[in-house]
Structures are given as C-alpha cells and as structure tokens.
Amino acid sequence: MDYDPELGDNIEALETLAEMGYLDKDSPAFGIALKWLHDGEDELSTKQMAIFDKYVRPIIAKTCGVCGEGIELPGLPNVYISQRQLCSYHMYQFNKDD
C-alpha cells in the first residue's frame, strides 16, 4: 500500500480530538473510527457501524456554516477550539479579516 499523507493527517486529527476529550481513546468507538479511516465505511460490520454512528459520526460529521461543505477531519480540532463551524477555507477567510 502506498503511503497516504492524508490518512496520517486524519489519524492525527482523530487523536487530537481524543486528547481534547471529544472521543475516548480507550473506547471501542475510537478503534472503530481508526478502522473506518484505514478501511472505509464498507468494511465496518453492522454492529461497528451502529457504534460509529452513535459515538463518532456526531463528532466528526460537521459542515461549514457558510458554504455547507463537509469539514475535513484535519480541520475539526480547529473548529472545536474556535467554536466556529467553518471549513478550512472559510476559517482562513474569517481569521484573515480579524
């Protein structure tokens, strides 16, 4: 398998969210979230999917309040820190005008 820098960024973001207390690193949900990143949604069992939907999706499925685009995982820690639900592009625009 090729090295995937995006995957690395996504895993890092997930770990950051765990450190921030939004996900529990010792929980099955965190392991399932990692599997979801590595293997994709199709590889999750029905039971894993249910756990993912309950504990992980509400944390990571955020859309930009301006353009409605899904916010990518690496942008999420910033969303929680700034409490502004913006994609990386609009986060940049917002900060630029400060």
- Report d(CA 66, CA 10) in Å as an integer: 23
Give yes or no for residue 79 binding Zn ion (CB under 5 A).
no
Residue nearest to Zn ion (CB): 64
Minimum distance from residue 95 beta carbon to Zn ion (Å):
13
Count residues binding Zn ion (CB under 5 A).
Answer: 5
Give 13 or 64: the residue with its C-beta nearer to Zn ion.
64
- Which run of H or of E encompasses 12? helix 5-19
Give 38 or 89: the residue with its C-beta nearer to Zn ion.
89
- Report d(CA 4, CA 49) in Å as an integer: 24
Could you say which of 14, 73, 76, 87 contacts Zn ion (CB under 5 A)? 87
Could you say which of 64, 73, 76, 79 contacts Zn ion (CB under 5 A)? 64
- Report d(CA 11, CA 20) in Å as an integer: 14
Give yes or no for residue 66 binding Zn ion (CB under 5 A).
yes
- Report d(CA 10, CA 28) in Å as an integer: 18
